[in-house]
A and B are shown apart, each in its own frame.
Chain A
Amino acid sequence: MNETLKNTGLFAIVGGLILLTGFMQSWNSAILIINMGLISAIMAIGVNLQWGFAGLFNVGVMGFVALGGLAVVLIAGDYSPEAWSAGGFGIVLALLLGAATVTAAVMISKKMAKGRARTIAMLAVLIGGFVLYRAVFDPNVAAVEAINPAAAGNIGGLGLPVLLAWPAGGLLAAGAAWLIGKTALGLRSDYLAIATLGIAEIIIAVLKNEDWLARGVKNVIGLPRPVPYEIDLQNDPAFVERAAGMGLDPVMASTLYVKLGYSVLFMVVLLVLLWMAQMALKSPWGRMMRAIRDNEVAAEAMGKDVTRRHLQIFVLGSAVCGIAGAMMTTLDGQLTPGTYNPLRFTFLVWVMVIVGGSGNNFGAVLGAMLIWFLWVQVEPLGIWVMELLTSGMAEDSALRDHLLDSAAHMRLLTMGVILLLVLRFSPRGLIPEK
């Protein structure tokens, strides 16, 4: 059996599983799986760029995904002129002051000779800068948060079309990745892992606590959509007529239409990114990356700037994750910082990449669709298995109730088992690197 046939077969199996969901459960949930699966595939491509191409161990995916979500609020959220006049500019000024403080401290540590004078100068700059920053920052934040706190209280967005937020999410994530990469990429792989894990937690903490930015845990809801609203479609006589022509009732037809609209948009983004990743993999640049991954010392001896290349691919991969994050927030129509969980947004993406085949873009996409399907379906499956297992027990048995209640936690267990099995018996994944 040749490779193309096998790979097509694997994709067909996953497609078949999703079709089965459509027939057995509902088309609505099947399309939901596809939509989140496509987004997960983009995240997996981002991680695969970093891990599969360059061997960088980034466990901060969640942070970049969340930054993408933030970009949606900042780009597409309602423009709020009173927030800007009350304190928006002050906040920007404070942030610039903070950045200037850090830059000055870095300059001092680079330019001045080592010694007591340098330490004192750095401390003075850092402490002075911090006090100044808080002095400008705090009153402005209070002013912004005081504006209509029940519904807004944040600086709002630019009111631009939401599709623009997707590349913006990529840019925001890329900027953060550049900062992180500058400091952390020189570290050993284990340290980089811990560093990225920490960064992700910090980004989530900022999103949760800085109410002026995106309302924190009060969530931003009602973000604009790139597709029409169901209710508008239902009120559109032409749409209702067409739906009736296909034998569907208007409510059903409108939800399917909206979801499929998202699917098409996501598919376009995925195909573009997949094409770019494939081109990059085949190009001399891709070969150089793999050479660096396989033997850093040899690549360095050949005159390749390993640190720079690592920074480059770290930024690129994170940007892809940022785009996926922006798309996810667009799909949800809301930004809910409380729901970002590293198990779901970092480690699950890793499972996708490893199961699919690290180093192979198609593998990453396949792994993402398959693992996302399982992630969604293991829960009902687990409940079904538990019902089967407990069918012999008494109706009021405490153990039976406990087992049925706990079935929902089967998914973490299953993901771990799948990851370990793949690592043990097929460490190169379903579609191995060529």
Chain B
Amino acid sequence: MDFLNALVALSNFVLVPAIAYGSQLALGALGVTLIYGILRFSNFAHGDTMAFGAMITVLVTWWMQSIGISFGPLPTALLALPFGILGTMLLVLFTDRVVYKFYREQKAKPVILVIVSMGVMFIMNGLVRFVIGPGDQRFADGERFIISARDFKQMTGLREGLAIKTTQGITVVVAVICVVALFWFLNRTRTGKSMRAYSDNEDLALLSGINPERVVMYTWLIVAALAATAGVLYGLDKSFKPFVYFQLLLPIFASAIVGGLGNPLGAIAGGFVIAFSEVTITYAWKKVAKYMLPESLEPSGLAQLLSTDYKFAVSFVILLIVLLFKPTGLFKGKAV
């Protein structure tokens, strides 16, 4: 019984949140890694692109709620998500036309593009704050829990409860759908294959008649869809606040780099590595230890390795360790 209780406590506080957070990070990191693979620069504006997509979705959700459209037990935001994706696609295509295209034609150094993306970051950040303001916005509705802690306790008679929020379930399901669709696209379709070819060897791809502008356009479209989805899922799970999305940049980049920049599979693995380490290291283990250890060994403190405010430090330290020992990331990434 103690073992089961410990297991449930562990799932409730570590596994479930980490899986949901990991899926969100993985979707974000996929966007970063695709940009890096095809356009060959680190996109600092990615966090704010996510915020933009989430913002459009929040606005459409509010509009739908006001005219009485709902999605039953599921959050209305899922219905609004396509609009968010569409808006983000328009925004990034516009940005690419107006800003990035010029530097691509100039064959500017990657670091120049990074600085350019800093400018885009400022603009998008300003835009989001301008439209929706810097404050917290809640837009989740529908059922709050798939299983609430109380129901779970009644069902199983255990002392520990396991709560799974609807948003956590949706996050995982949507993330799986996105990833499957993405890999199907990259591996099975002509456009997807040309994207991979362009990423592997630009000159050879051009030689075989691949249109680079088309590849770039599709990349932006996919990145916009991923970013908007990741942004909405994160917003549903936690809450929507523009500045938080900017701060997500660090764990997202850490995930992409840990997995190997430019490698989609690596981005997913990296997302989960970062999420699990963040949650396990900042979790107070006293509750689990109470069930697993004999009374005499029970920890007196919270048995928390680091306070939750240091979660940035965790993603960062993992990033450094991986870079020092395996500079191209866990899966082989590119090195420009």
Contacts and interface: CB of A to CB of B under 8 A. Distances in A.
Q: Which of A184, A187, A417, A420 has the most CB of B within 10 A?
A: A420
25 contacts: A57-B114, A188-B336, A189-B110, A189-B111, A190-B110, A193-B42, A194-B250, A198-B254, A198-B313, A198-B315, A201-B250, A202-B310, A208-B309, A209-B307, A209-B309, A209-B310, A343-B246, A347-B121, A405-B133, A409-B129, A413-B122, A413-B130, A416-B122, A416-B123, A416-B124
Sorted nearest first, the 4 A-B pairs with minimum C-beta distance are A416-B122, A413-B126, A412-B126, A416-B123
A415 interface: yes
A406 B123 contact: no
Interface string B45-80: 000000000000000000000000000000000000
Interface string A403-426: 001100111111111011001100
Interface in B307-336: 307, 309-310, 312-313, 315-316, 319-320, 323-324, 327, 335-336
A289 B121 CA distance: 30
Given A194-B250, A202-B316, A406 B130 contact: yes
Nearest to B301: A138
A145 to B, nearest CB: 14
B55 to A, nearest CB: 13
Contact of B129 (A187, A342, A412, A427): A412
A26 interface: no
B17 interface: no
B16 interface: no
Contacts of B121: 347, 416
A405 to B, nearest CB: 7
Contacts of A209: 307, 309-310
Interface in B120-176: 120-127, 129-131, 133-134
Given A198-B254, A209-B307, A343-B246, 10 more contacts: A189-B114, A193-B42, A193-B114, A195-B323, A201-B247, A202-B313, A209-B309, A410-B126, A416-B124, A419-B115
Nearest to B251: A198
A187 B325 CA distance: 12
Contacts of B102: 424
Contacts of A427: 112
Contact of B312 (A187, A202, A350, A423): A202
A32 B184 CA distance: 58
Nearest to A415: B122
Nearest to A354: B115
Contact of A184 (B42, B112, B254, B320): B320
A418 to B, nearest CB: 8
Contacts of A409: 126, 129-130, 133-134
Contacts of B250: 194, 197-198, 201
Contacts of A190: 41-42, 110-111, 114, 261, 336
Contacts of B205: none
Given A420-B119, A420-B120, A424-B102, A191 B129 contact: no
B249 interface: yes
B111 A57 contact: yes
B257 interface: yes
Nearest to B305: A130
A354 B247 CA distance: 23
B126 A411 contact: yes
A188 B42 CA distance: 12
Specify the main secondary structure of chain A where it touches its partner. helix
B270 to A, nearest CB: 12
B21 interface: no
Contacts of B292: none
Interface of A: 55, 57, 138, 183-184, 187-191, 193-195, 197-199, 201-202, 205, 208-209, 342-343, 347, 350-351, 354, 405-406, 409-417, 419-420, 423-424, 427
Contacts of B123: 412-413, 416-417, 420
B253 interface: yes
Contact of A416 (B126, B134, B316, B324): B126
Interface string B180-196: 00000000000000000
Contacts of B324: 183
B299 to A, nearest CB: 11
A412 B122 CA distance: 5
Given A194-B254, A406-B133, A343 B122 contact: yes
Contacts of B111: 55, 57, 189-190
Interface string B11-45: 00000000000000000000000000000011000
A423 B313 contact: no
Contact of B118 (A347, A406, A410): A347
A350 B131 CA distance: 26
B210 interface: no
A406 B128 CA distance: 10
A99 to B, nearest CB: 16
Contacts of A347: 118, 121-122
B244 to A, nearest CB: 13
B304 to A, nearest CB: 10
A373 to B, nearest CB: 17
A238 to B, nearest CB: 48
Contacts of B42: 190, 193-194
A217 to B, nearest CB: 10
A406 to B, nearest CB: 5
Contacts of A350: 115, 118
A194 B99 contact: no
Contacts of B323: 187, 191, 195
A205 B114 contact: no
A189 B102 CA distance: 22
A198 B122 contact: no
B320 A183 contact: yes
Contacts of A55: 111
Contact of B116 (A199, A342, A423): A423
A187 B257 CA distance: 12
Contacts of B327: 187
A184 B319 CA distance: 11
